[in-house]
Structure 1
Amino acid sequence: MQLDWTPVRQELARWHNEELTLPVWWRDDDAIEPTQQLEKLLELSAETGVPVHLAIIPREATKALAERIIGDANVVPVVHGWSHTNYQPKTETKCEFGNARPLEIRSEQAAEGLRRLQTLLGERVSAMFVPPWNRVPADFFPELSKIGFHSVSTCNPRASQELVPGLAQINTHIDPLYWRPSKKLSHPELIVEKTARLLKKRRQGKLDNTEPFGLLTHHLAHDDRVWEFCRQFWSELLEGPFEVFRSA
């Protein structure tokens, strides 16, 4: 797959000329166990040198997964909700921690998610909350902070650095998958254009460039075209003036 990355290359050249630095990061969702797809993800992370923040579904996470990643310095385990279950009515968008359930139950499950991953992986776990389907209501932010989470990650450029005091917003911005009607690579030319457009807005001060510019992937859903796009994406971005973000 040959893509024309000229718009991104031209934009990154302007970043070099203006002596700017682009913070970048990588989040991958829905991990539960070791798979061949996970191995491809970890191989690409090692190849690019960009750590992958692996959003693990706590209720389903296996000891085998913990054993596979605990010694891999390129993996940053983060908390992907609790069970990746939708509790909203069919007429509403999917959400695991939405207002369809009592706040107490949602808080207990979020806390248990963090505890379970810490039991499996100890201090390797970063206290970042990644809500399934990238959705969580604002009234749940104070609860996440009380539980001990230091950040929340959804998608699209953030409006503010903190959601509530002590709870940072660290989003993703580029998702190469087109989910409906089938999981496949979205129009790659449009993704390249979107990437260049977002970088331009950051350079111009119209978007927050202190927020790491994030790639969102789902290793279990990738075919060869998606993997190739991800490889090219990092190859191009790392030609720019970059700084890799890694959650504590």
Structure 2
Amino acid sequence: MIPDWTPLDRELELWQQEGLILPLWWRDDDAVAPTPELDRLSDLSERIGLPVHLAVIPQPADIELAGYLQPRPHLIPVVHGWAHRNHAPAGEKKAEFRLHRPLEAILADAEAGLARLTALFGPALRPIFVPPWNRIAPEVVARLPELGFRVLSTATPRTARLAVPGLEQVNTHLDPIDWRGTRGLTNPEILVARLASLLQQRREGWADNAEPFGLLTHHLVHDQDIWNFTGALIRRLMAGPVRVWTAPADRT
């Protein structure tokens, strides 16, 4: 299905006319090892010129992933929880970093995740914490800076630049997958309309345009339609008034 890009094109034209710039970033979740799907993600990122912040699950991460990423600086590793294990009881939404167990045990997992990926990736690792399922307790958020994290990334537009002192919030805003339905591509017309609306809110000042606009993907579960839409969308955005954002390496 070829989407009607008209709503997005019109919105981007207004951005051009008003001299606005969209900070743009890309996050892809659940990496653990080199795979053909990761090859495809890497190739797409390199061709289009938009780096991918690769949210790596620390506990099962394969040491071969470090060698794979080393010559590919457009793949930027960040910390995706610890084991991507659900600790919520039946009937609640899945979560690894909500208060379903002692706070100190949760913090120990976050600290272990940062330590393991630092050992694997060295200075290439960015101090971003991405909680699985984009869910995290405020009590955990408050302690992330003391562990060494400088950015928290979940989903939906942020309400403030800092989640807590010393921890910037940089979220994702558009996910092309229909997780609650087919688990394939969401209707492209809905995605284009949603994106145009999110950009309109920024242009009109209802949302924070200082926050990098985040595209969220999951390379391991993409079908051909998702790959096609993702590539076409990023090319369209990159041809517009955008500035690529990548996370700083500084942990001080």
User: Is 1:190 aligned to residue 190 of structure 2?
Assistant: yes
- State the match for 1:126 in structure 2: 126
Deviations 1:205-240 (A, max 9, x none): 100000011100000010000000001111111121
TM alignment of 1:171-186, pairs within 5 A: 171-186=171-186
SS of the residue 2:202 aligns to: helix
- State the match for 1:83 in structure 2: 83
**Superposed displacement of residue 127, structure 1:** 0.5
- State the match for 1:93 in structure 2: 93
**Superposed displacement of residue 14, structure 1:** 0.6
Deviations 1:157-207 (A, max 9, x none): 001100110101000000000113442001111000000000011000100
- State the match for 1:41 in structure 2: 41
Counterpart residue type for residue 163 of structure 1: A
CA distance in 1 between partners of 2:90 and 2:247 (Å) = 35
CA distance in 2 between partners of 1:223 and 1:91 (Å) = 29
TM alignment of 1:214-229, pairs within 5 A: 214-229=214-229
SS of the residue 1:168 aligns to: strand
User: Identity percentage over the alignment?
Assistant: 47
Q: What is the total number of aligned residue pairs between the two structures? A: 248
CA distance in 2 between partners of 1:240 and 1:162 (Å) = 28
Gaps of 5+ in 1: none
* More moved, 155-164 vs 180-189: 180-189
**Structure 1 ranges of 4+ moved more than 4 A:** none
Counterpart residue type for residue 75 of structure 1: L
User: Is 1:16 aligned to residue 16 of structure 2?
Assistant: yes
Gaps of 5+ in 2: none
Tell me if the contact between 1:157 and 1:208 (Cα under 8 Å) persists in the aligned partners: yes
Counterpart residue type for residue 124 of structure 1: A
TM alignment of 1:38-187, pairs within 5 A: 38-187=38-187
Tell me the TM-score normalised to structure 1 length: 0.98
User: RMSD of the TM alignment (CA)?
Assistant: 0.8
**Superposed displacement of residue 71, structure 1:** 2.0
CA distance in 2 between partners of 1:16 and 1:181 (Å) = 36
